[in-house]
């Protein structure tokens, strides 16, 4: 700022301003007393929350009394907010649930699983988790618990409501599955040239024309389990997928990958969520005959630890796992049982979650990340070590 | 804060006019003035200081006390070195592109008889109307490999497109073109404020055009050029949208995008993000300190004579060529992005332009947009935040700059310095710092629009200072002194003399802050919660989701809204002297 | 007479309104012609906006007139009809700008040496010779020994000398000076004026000097061209301009004049009798008058002497002093005669008190008569 000359107005010193500044700094420091802000701000809760007590209360009820009591309590709460991945049928779900129970249901859907997690993390940081019920990939649900403790252990009766209890974890019950498959642009790839096996994608004509999606370590693990189970050697698997990854561009989720496929920017996608393809009307994308095996990634539903509407949350979760199933099956490529498939003739794979603790999950995460980045350790040490 | 003293009507004072009443009246004014200035100073200090303090704290401390481990985690890998290299290459590359483009255009505009002069200022509005969160996608639509509206046909003709939106060249080109208008406006001002007789003297002394340019014009605008260089390089370092949207798909990270991903990855490493933030600010501060921070343009001013506008340099036969280069620039930097946005907005899905594609155009994206959940509340939040933030910024900066510019009170330099400090705090860094502060805040501010308002006010205080300060500096001291001698106290002088005289400048600043708030993303993206969604975040998320049609539709609507504001402002401007510039 | 150093013929320039180029009104020149003899100092004098600077800039080549011709020596540097348009760098003249145009990024020496350094390599003087010439010209303008000082560290008067040195270092045929003294304070301006005259005389450099200050013009010029609204109203020596203005504008602009409408009553020999609204007056300074003609009578304030009414002899007019201003070397009075105010000036020893009656004596040879139309020659 240019200095003005001749400001004859008071040049008296204001001693009051300096202590005031000091005071402000001091007060800042004082209010800031505590742990460094880069260390997680929330603590692992001690003792059950209000909502957890409600969950436990209904869980311990006799089965025949539970539902009527739950409906009454939920209707008393009047409304709830749920964070669902099943965005395509959200309006139908809302309508059906409201019609059945007269409870105001609001479904929020932030987008990809990763964004769901970020958003819940944000909410947790703000100390106000808005959702009473949260749905994401089953393995993500574990992460969400580990990261923010916003969800809680699932009541036993809910776990038993799930169609396939084997895909139910401590924090979530499986709801439906997304198939991940190889898809290609039909304007760029004639039917005769379409890939049949992953090995076909090593052909130089695909170089730099492929797209892979980030954070799909579960797809990677499921495929690894399936292909090596079918007799492919670990070395061969590593060779094939290193090559494919080297020829691939990377996107953050299936939706943009599908958009790029539809536009022809990429010719084929390696791990595209079928849900992303079907949502683009008239997109020139094909995925049949299906390449290799199709990993199905299960989504699961969990309850918020600090739900504002705990009874309604319980009621919705139960409803979603039972009465909601037909609605889900309309659009979401539901795979409630390993035996049913809408992808006729395609071998489907479900990731084995049993051998996955959070450390191994993290190893797969890092391995898949390394694969996309062209790093060295493209498989977790524990599977590589198994085949010298 | 501009009310008069309730007990003593100013008229009585004016009538009495004795030394004693005058002095006591002054003292009353003084006290109010002191209170207002100290309060404003504290507000600015808190806004700017708190997030930076907490950032330092979060970076250098962990649960066990002082640590430098965050720096080890942030910089301990080979990728970190690559990231630093990328950041510098991106910032300097974009800086060079913008400086060459902007300075050339400014010289052509200010000094030659180049055709299409009206086009220049239209082009300079681009950064305001097409914010990066819209501009970067537009460039993807134009130059994404194979299918971009421009690169697609090029690929078909040449087999490969020479330009690609993704990757370092794309990032540099897009950021450079987006920054060029800032350089342009800066350098036009420099060329114009230069006494034209300095160049004329050179010519009369027998120097050719080239000698005049080399020995007189360039050395004279060198200080301005140096300032512009620092500004664009710092802006390049702070840029968020372009690296995230164009760099990440190519696996390129810079400071800002790394900070963003570190805070969003699992497990989030806030300490490492803090370390990157501190390092980035240190680089920016170092640049500003070494070069004197964009304020060195004054030393060369001498007495200026008559306001003779020099006859423009005749380009002669080159005029046609230069004109077509300018037209080409305008088409590429302005027309093409706008057209492609409209095209993608009307396409049912994102595809390369073709006859079938054009026949399928429709409004389905706008229908989808209308049904987009959360859009309504985001719109309300955005408008509300823009109005509230702009108002608060101007309120604070009018008082602060009256303190800085119009008094010689102690502390004014410090306040000026603090108020300009956010310029070297990148948006993501500010967002991180604020999240550190307000996660701990006793009141539930985190995740609300209030936090966003705090972020915007902090970020845009420097711009408010610039607008308010500039218009305050134009008001002659004597006008204020005359009011004081006439018996008006400080508050009355502010309200009756200073504010009315500076109103056009303040209003221009208000509109400017309103517009940049409207599209702010880099700090918002870390702070917006489910209840405080804004349009820019929705745009960013839809882009990440690959729903390009919706991105384009929303981008077009945003551009139209911003353009409308500018046109309204300029219409008002012709009446009230309001002027909005980048 | 030798070839004129500068010939300007029929120069015209109009700035169309609305281009934003003319900052305060329309600077136009309208059929301006004059020439300048070697060694002469010609002043273009006039109020701001009269076209004097535009004329000068046209001579320098900084402005392109719409029509006319400019020749320096026997070289045509501008001719609208033939399309000759030499650039300022090709005209071989020097110019001192109103703002001095001292390059702030160079020191004193470099400022002065610049014109010698930018000539084409073949014609460039050796380094040592440039140094000597710069030193010499710096001494001429009394800036000797200041060569290494940053130009911006000079005082206003020194900057002015520096600008002059830069203009003189090439020994120009023609020196253009655009209000060179207007940025100096009054005292300095006075001494620089004498200095400038000394230097100009001693070097014999043909000069064109633009100013709005009539005192400067009268003191410095060989000849003065008084300009108004783009035209030359009168061109002549300072004495001619001052004592025999040919139109009302010149009379009013140069010095202070009392201008009275009058009618010619009688002409007897060299004495003309005129009647004005304040009374009759005689003049010996006129030409071509016919009885009954409407004319303007011009009387300089210093040509009116005041005395007490009780003195002897018949006064021309009797008036009343309404105001007086003591100026040190003189006293200015305002005297009303029949309700009309006349400006009078007398020596400081004389006195007339406010509200007293005075007799006004005017020497007929100092009463100048103009035809009422007052057009230029």
Which tens digit of pLDDT belongs to each residue from A233-256? 999 999 999 999 999 988 888 888
Which residues make beta-bridge pairs with C298? C259, C368
**In this structure, are residues B206 and C115 in contact, taking their beta carbons and an 8 Å threshold?**
yes
**Token digits of residue A295:** 């990993």
pLDDT confidence tier of residue A277, bands split at 50, 70 and 90: confident
**Token digits of residue B216:** 């007189």
Which residues make beta-bridge pairs with C295? C262, C371
**Token digits of residue C9:** 């013929």
Counts for chain B of helices (H) and strands (E), in that order: 29, 2
Counts for chain A of helices (H) and strands (E), in that order: 15, 11
Planar angle of CA B99, B102, B106, nearest 5 degrees: 130
pLDDT at B239: 93
Q: Beta strand C6-13 with C67-72: parallel, antiparallel or unpaired? A: antiparallel
Report CB contact under 8 Å: C88, B308: no
Of B204, B302, B310, the CB nearest to C95: B204
pLDDT confidence tier of residue B581, bands split at 50, 70 and 90: low
pLDDT at A331: 66
pLDDT confidence tier of residue B12, bands split at 50, 70 and 90: very low
B126 alpha-carbon distance from chain centroid: 12
Mean pLDDT score, B312-330: 84
Q: Tokens 């191994």 sit at which residue?
A: A360
Closest chain B residue to the Cα of A22, Cα to Cα: B42
Q: What is the pTM of this model?
A: 0.79
Closest CA to A301 of A317, A319, A312, A325: A317
pLDDT at B396: 94
How far B350 CA lies from chain A's nearest CA (Å)?
Answer: 5
How far A344 CA lies from chain B's nearest CA (Å)?
Answer: 28
Q: In angstroms, rounded to a whole number, what is the distance separating the alpha carbons of residues B223 and B110? A: 17
pLDDT at A1: 39
**In this structure, are residues C133 and C169 in contact, taking their beta carbons and an 8 Å threshold?**
yes
Q: In angstroms, rounded to a whole number, what is the distance separating the alpha carbons of residues A256 and B133? A: 16
**Token digits of residue B129:** 């109307």
Report CB contact under 8 Å: A259, B350: yes
pLDDT score of A5 more than 50: no
Cβ-based contacts of A39 with chain B (< 8 Å): 62-63, 270-271
pLDDT at B579: 61
Mean pLDDT score, A29-38: 60
Mean pLDDT score, A363-376: 90
Intervals of chain C under pLDDT 50: 18-25, 374-377
Give the contacts of A330 (CB within 8 A, at least 6 positions apart). Answer: A89, A92
Q: In angstroms, rounded to a whole number, what is the distance separating the alpha carbons of residues C96 and C182? A: 12
Q: For residue B297, report the phi and psi dihedrals to the nearest 5 degrees.
A: -75, 0
**In this structure, are residues A107 and A80 in contact, taking their beta carbons and an 8 Å threshold?**
no
Q: Tokens 């300022």 sit at which residue?
A: C88
Cβ-based contacts of C104 with chain B (< 8 Å): 220, 299-302
Q: In angstroms, rounded to a whole number, what is the distance separating the alpha carbons of residues A344 and A181? A: 13
Q: Is residue B17 within a helix (H) or strand (E), and if so which, with residue range? A: none
Q: In angstroms, rounded to a whole number, what is the distance separating the alpha carbons of residues C279 and C276? A: 5
**Token digits of residue A232:** 């492919």
B309 touches chain C (CB under 8 A): yes
pLDDT at B27: 47
Q: In angstroms, rounded to a whole number, what is the distance separating the alpha carbons of residues B234 and B425? A: 10
Q: Mind listing the pLDDT tens digit for each residue in B30-80?
A: 688 888 898 999 999 999 999 999 898 888 887 777 888 889 888 888 888
Closest CA to B423 of B281, B581, B275: B281
Q: In angstroms, rounded to a whole number, what is the distance separating the alpha carbons of residues B109 and B188? A: 7
Report CB contact under 8 Å: B58, A38: yes
Taking each helix axis from N to C end, the angle separating B19-60 and B375-406, rounded to the nearest 10 degrees, works out to: 130
Dihedral, B279, B390, B419, B224 alpha carbons, nearest 10? 80
Q: In angstroms, rounded to a whole number, what is the distance separating the alpha carbons of residues B217 and A289? A: 69
Closest CA to B212 of C234, B221, B269: B221
Distances (CA, A) of B174 to B214, B236, C319: 30, 11, 83
Mean pLDDT score, B206-212: 84
Q: In angstroms, rounded to a whole number, what is the distance separating the alpha carbons of residues C103 and C112? A: 10
Closest chain B residue to the Cα of C87, Cα to Cα: B203
pLDDT score of B575 more than 50: yes
Helices (H), chain A: 17-31, 50-59, 63-77, 90-101, 113-125, 138-148, 156-161, 217-229, 234-246, 254-263, 274-278, 310-321, 325-331, 358-373, 381-386
CA dihedral (A248, A250, A254, A259) positive or negative:
negative
How far A62 CA lies from chain B's nearest CA (Å)?
Answer: 38
Q: In angstroms, rounded to a whole number, what is the distance separating the alpha carbons of residues A229 and C3? A: 110
Q: Beta strand C223-228 with C41-45: parallel, antiparallel or unpaired? A: parallel
Cβ-based contacts of B198 with chain C (< 8 Å): 101, 103
Of B303, B308, B311, the CB nearest to C100: B303
Chain B residues 119-138 within an 8 A CB cutoff of chain C: none
Q: In angstroms, rounded to a whole number, what is the distance separating the alpha carbons of residues C345 and B57? A: 82
Closest CA to B45 of B426, B390, B396: B396
Distances (CA, A) of B258 to A117, B51, B519, C303: 18, 19, 21, 89
* 3-class DSSP state of C143: coil
Q: Mind listing the pLDDT tens digit for each residue in B379-399?
A: 999 999 999 999 999 999 999
Q: How high is the mean pLDDT of chain A? A: 81
Cβ-based contacts of B201 with chain C (< 8 Å): 95, 97, 101, 103, 166
pLDDT at C152: 84
Best mutation target, B117, B205, B223, B306, to test chain C (most C CBs within 10 A): B205
Q: Could you give the percent of chain B with pLDDT greater than 70? A: 89
pLDDT at A328: 81
What size, in residues, is chain B?
582
Q: In angstroms, rounded to a whole number, what is the distance separating the alpha carbons of residues B391 and B456? A: 11
Cβ-based contacts of B307 with chain C (< 8 Å): 23-24
Closest CA to B179 of B235, B141, B221: B235
Q: Which of B111-125, B266-280, B289-303, C116-130 shows the lowest per-residue confidence on average (mean pLDDT)?
A: B289-303
Cis peptide before B498 (omega within 30 of 0): no
pLDDT at A42: 54
* 3-class DSSP state of B5: coil
Distances (CA, A) of B128 to B132, B471, B518, B535, B558: 9, 21, 10, 16, 11
**In this structure, are residues A324 and A96 in contact, taking their beta carbons and an 8 Å threshold?**
yes
Q: Could you give the percent of chain B with pLDDT greater than 90? A: 29
Counts for chain C of helices (H) and strands (E), in that order: 8, 21
pLDDT score of B26 more than 50: no
pLDDT score of B474 more than 90: no
Q: In angstroms, rounded to a whole number, what is the distance separating the alpha carbons of residues B522 and B531? A: 18
User: What is the SS3 string spanning B28-47?
Assistant: HHHHHHHHHHHHHHHHHHHH
Give the contacts of C156 (CB within 8 A, at least 6 positions apart). Answer: B303, C183, C184, C185, C188
C115 touches chain B (CB under 8 A): yes
Q: In angstroms, rounded to a whole number, what is the distance separating the alpha carbons of residues C320 and C353? A: 9
Closest chain B residue to the Cα of A283, Cα to Cα: B349
C52 alpha-carbon distance from chain centroid: 10
| Cβ contact C–A (≥3 pairs, < 8 Å) | no
Taking each helix axis from N to C end, the angle separating A358-373 and A138-148, rounded to the nearest 10 degrees, works out to: 110
Chain A residues 109-128 within an 8 A CB cutoff of chain B: 109-112, 114-115, 117-119, 121-123, 125-128
Q: In angstroms, rounded to a whole number, what is the distance separating the alpha carbons of residues B428 and B240? A: 8
**Token digits of residue B354:** 């073709």
Q: In angstroms, rounded to a whole number, what is the distance separating the alpha carbons of residues A101 and A383? A: 49
Q: Mind listing the pLDDT tens digit for each residue in A306-353?
A: 899 999 999 999 999 888 888 887 765 555 454 444 465 667 777 776
**Token digits of residue A139:** 């393995």
Closest CA to C110 of C164, C148, C154: C148
Mean pLDDT score, B327-337: 90
Chain B residues 209-238 within an 8 A CB cutoff of chain C: 211, 215-216, 219-220, 222
**In this structure, are residues A321 and A175 in contact, taking their beta carbons and an 8 Å threshold?**
yes
**Token digits of residue B100:** 């060459």
Up-side HSE of residue C52: CA atoms within 13 Å toward CB?
Answer: 29
Which residues make beta-bridge pairs with C231? C228
Which residues make beta-bridge pairs with C333? C324, C344
């Amino acid at each position: 700022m240019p200095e003005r000359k001749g400001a004859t107005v008071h040049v008296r010193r204001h001693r009051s301003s300096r202590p005031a500044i000091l005071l402000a700094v001091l007060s800042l420091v004082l209010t800031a007393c505590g742990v460094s802000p880069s260390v997680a701000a929330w603590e692992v809760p001690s003792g059950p929350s209000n909502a957890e007590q409600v969950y436990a209360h209904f869980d311990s009820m006799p089965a025949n009394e539970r539902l009527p009591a739950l409906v009454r309590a939920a209707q008393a709460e009047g409304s709830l907010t749920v964070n669902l991945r099943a965005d395509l049928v959200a309006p139908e779900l809302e309508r059906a649930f409201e019609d059945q129970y007269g409870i105001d249901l609001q479904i929020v859907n932030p987008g990809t699983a990763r964004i769901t997690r970020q958003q819940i993390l944000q909410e947790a940081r703000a100390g106000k988790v808005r959702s009473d019920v949260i749905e994401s990939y089953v393995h993500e649900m574990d992460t969400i618990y580990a990261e923010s403790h916003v969800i809680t252990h699932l009541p036993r009766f809910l776990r038993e409501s799930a169609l396939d209890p084997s895909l139910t974890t401590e924090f979530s019950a499986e709801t439906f599955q997304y198939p991940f498959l190889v898809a290609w642009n039909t304007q760029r790839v004639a039917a005769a040239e379409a890939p049949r096996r992953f090995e076909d994608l090593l052909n130089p004509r695909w170089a730099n024309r492929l797209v892979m999606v980030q954070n799909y370590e579960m797809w990677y693990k499921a495929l690894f389990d399936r292909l090596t189970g079918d007799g492919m050697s670990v070395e061969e698997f590593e060779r094939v997928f290193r090559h494919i990854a080297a020829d691939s561009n990377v996107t953050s989720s299936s939706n943009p990958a599908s958009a790029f496929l539809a536009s022809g920017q990429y010719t084929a996608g390696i791990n595209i969520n079928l849900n992303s393809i079907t949502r683009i009307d008239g997109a020139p994308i094909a995925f049949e005959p299906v390449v290799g095996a199709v990993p199905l990634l299960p989504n699961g539903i969990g309850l918020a630890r600090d739900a504002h509407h705990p009874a309604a949350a319980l009621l919705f979760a139960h409803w979603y796992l039972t009465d909601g199933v037909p609605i889900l099956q309309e659009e979401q490529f539901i795979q409630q049982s390993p035996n049913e498939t809408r992808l006729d003739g395609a071998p489907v794979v479900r990731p084995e979650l049993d051998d996955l603790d959070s450390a191994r999950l993290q190893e797969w995460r890092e391995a898949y990340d390394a694969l996309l980045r062209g790093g060295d350790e493209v498989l977790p040490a524990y599977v590589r070590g198994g085949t010298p | 804060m501009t009310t008069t003293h309730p007990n003593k009507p100013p008229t009585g004072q004016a009538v009495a006019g004795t030394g004693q009443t005058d002095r006591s009246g002054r003292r009353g004014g003084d006290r109010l003035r002191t209170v207002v200035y100290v309060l404003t100073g504290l507000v600015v200090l808190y806004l700017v200081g708190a997030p930076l303090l907490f950032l330092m704290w979060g970076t250098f401390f962990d649960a066990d006390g002082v640590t430098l481990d965050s720096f080890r985690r942030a910089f301990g890998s080979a990728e970190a070195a690559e990231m630093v290299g990328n950041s510098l290459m991106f910032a300097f590359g974009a800086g060079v592109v913008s400086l060459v483009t902007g300075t050339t255009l400014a010289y052509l505009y200010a000094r030659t008889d180049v055709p299409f002069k009206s086009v220049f200022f239209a082009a300079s509005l681009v950064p305001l109307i097409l914010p990066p969160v819209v501009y970067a996608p537009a460039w993807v639509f134009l130059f994404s490999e194979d299918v971009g509206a421009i690169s697609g046909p090029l690929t078909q003709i040449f087999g490969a497109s020479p330009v690609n939106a993704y990757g370092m060249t794309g990032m540099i080109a897009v950021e450079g073109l987006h920054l060029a208008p800032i350089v342009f406006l800066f350098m036009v001002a420099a060329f114009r404020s230069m006494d034209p007789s300095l160049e004329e003297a050179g010519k009369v002394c027998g120097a050719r055009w080239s000698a005049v340019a080399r020995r007189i014009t360039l050395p004279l605008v060198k200080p301005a050029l140096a300032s512009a260089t620092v500004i664009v390089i710092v802006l390049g370092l702070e840029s968020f949208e372009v690296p995230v949207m164009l760099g990440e798909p190519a696996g390129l990270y810079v400071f800002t995008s790394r900070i963003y991903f570190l805070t969003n990855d699992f497990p989030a490493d806030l300490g490492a993000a803090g370390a990157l933030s501190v390092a980035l600010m240190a680089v920016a501060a170092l640049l500003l300190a070494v070069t004197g921070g964009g304020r060195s343009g004054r030393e060369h001013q001498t007495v200026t004579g008559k306001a003779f506008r020099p006859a423009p340099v005749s380009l002669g036969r080159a005029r046609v060529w230069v004109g077509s280069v300018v037209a080409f620039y305008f088409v590429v930097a302005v027309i093409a992005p706008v057209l492609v946005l409209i095209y993608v907005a009307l396409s049912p899905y994102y595809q390369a332009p073709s006859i079938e594609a054009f026949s399928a155009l429709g409004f389905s994206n706008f229908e989808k947009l209308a049904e987009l959940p959360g859009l309504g509340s985001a719109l309300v939040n955005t408008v509300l935040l823009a109005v509230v933030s702009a108002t608060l910024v101007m309120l604070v900066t009018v008082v602060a700059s009256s303190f800085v510019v119009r008094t010689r009170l102690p502390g004014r330099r410090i306040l000026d310095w603090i108020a300009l400090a956010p310029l070297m705090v990148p948006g993501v860094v500010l967002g991180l710092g604020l999240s550190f502060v307000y996660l701990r805040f006793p009141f539930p501010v985190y995740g609300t629009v209030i936090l966003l308002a705090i972020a915007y006010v902090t970020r845009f205080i420097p711009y408010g200072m610039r607008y308010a300060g500039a218009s305050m500096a134009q008001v002659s001291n004597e006008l204020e002194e005359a009011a004081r001698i006439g018996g008006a106290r400080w508050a009355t002088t502010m309200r009756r003399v200073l504010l009315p005289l500076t109103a056009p400048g303040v209003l221009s600043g208000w509109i400017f802050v309103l517009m940049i708030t409207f599209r702010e993303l880099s700090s918002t993206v870390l702070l917006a919660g489910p209840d405080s969604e804004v349009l820019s975040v929705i745009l960013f998320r839809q882009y990440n989701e690959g729903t390009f049609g919706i991105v384009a539709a929303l981008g077009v609507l945003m551009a139209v809204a911003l353009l409308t504001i500018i046109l309204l402002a300029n219409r008002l401007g012709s009446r009230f002297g309001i002027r909005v510039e980048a | 007479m030798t070839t004129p150093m500068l010939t300007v013929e029929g120069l015209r320039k109009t700035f169309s309104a609305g281009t934003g180029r003319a900052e305060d009104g329309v600077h136009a020149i309208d059929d301006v012609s004059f020439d300048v003899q070697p060694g002469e100092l010609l002043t273009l004098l006039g109020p701001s906006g009269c076209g004097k600077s535009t004329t000068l800039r046209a001579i320098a080549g900084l402005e392109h007139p719409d029509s006319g011709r400019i020749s320096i020596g026997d070289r045509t540097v501008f001719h609208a009809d033939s399309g000759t348009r030499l650039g300022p760098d090709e005209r071989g003249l020097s110019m001192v700008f109103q703002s001095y145009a001292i390059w702030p990024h160079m020191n004193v020496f470099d400022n002065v040496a610049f014109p010698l350094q930018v000539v084409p390599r073949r014609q460039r003087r050796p380094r040592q010779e440039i140094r000597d010439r710069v030193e010499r010209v710096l001494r001429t303008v009394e800036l000797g020994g200041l060569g290494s000082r940053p130009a911006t560290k000079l005082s206003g008067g020194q900057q002015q000398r520096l600008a002059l040195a830069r203009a003189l270092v090439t020994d120009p045929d023609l020196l253009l000076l655009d209000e060179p003294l207007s940025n100096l304070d009054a005292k300095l301006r006075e001494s620089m004026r004498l200095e400038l005259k000394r230097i100009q005389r001693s070097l014999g450099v043909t000069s064109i000097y633009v100013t709005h200050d009539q005192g400067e013009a009268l003191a410095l010029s060989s000849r003065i061209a008084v300009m108004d609204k783009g035209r030359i109203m009168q061109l002549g020596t300072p004495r001619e301009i001052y004592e025999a203005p040919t139109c009302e504008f010149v009379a009013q602009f140069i010095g202070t004049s009392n201008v009275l409408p009058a009618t010619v009553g009688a002409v007897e020999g060299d004495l003309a009798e005129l009647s004005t609204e304040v009374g009759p007056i005689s003049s010996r300074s006129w030409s071509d008058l016919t009885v009954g003609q409407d004319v303007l009578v011009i009387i300089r304030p210093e040509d009116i002497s005041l005395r007490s009414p009780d003195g002897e002899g018949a006064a021309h007019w009797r008036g009343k002093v309404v105001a007086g201003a003591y100026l040190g070397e003189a006293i200015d009075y305002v005297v009303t005669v029949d309700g009309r105010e006349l400006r009078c000036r007398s020596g400081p020893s004389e006195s007339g008190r406010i509200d007293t009656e005075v007799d006004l004596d005017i020497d007929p040879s100092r009463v100048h008569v103009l035809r009422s139309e007052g057009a230029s020659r």
